[in-house]
Amino acid sequence: MVAVKKLSNTFAVPENKFHEEVRNLIKAKHKNIVRFLGYCADMQGKMEEYEGNLVMADQRNWLLCFEYVCSGSLDKHISGRL
C-alpha cells in the first residue's frame, strides 16, 4: 500500500526547492524513516479574477508517495498512546 501526501498552497515554494527536498527524501534511508517512493508534479492554468479582470493563474499540484505504515501516527508513538 501507498500513502499519498498532497501539498497545497505551494505557490510560495520555488520549484527548485521542491526538487531539492525530493532529492533529500530519496537519500533518506533508515529503519525508523518511512520509505519515500516517488512524487508527481502537475501544473495547470486556471482562470481567476484579479482586480476585476480574468487572468490565467498557474495551479500547481504536488503529490508525495510514501510506503504505507499501518502502525498509527507518529505523534501517538512519541506520546505513548498506542
pLDDT at 58: 84
- Read off the amino acid at residue 31: K
Phi, psi (degrees; rounded to nearest 5) at 73 = -85, 155
Question: Residue 62 half-sphere exposure, CB side, CA atoms within 13 Å?
Answer: 15
pLDDT at 72: 66
pLDDT at 81: 66
pTM above 0.75, yes or no: no
pLDDT tens digits for 9-64?
777 788 899 899 999 999 998 887 889 999 998 888 889 899 999 999 888 889 99
Beta strands in the chain (DSSP E): 2-7, 36-50, 53-67
Domains parsed from the chain with CATH numbers: 2-79 (3.30.200)
Confidence of residue 77 (pLDDT cuts 50, 70, 90): low
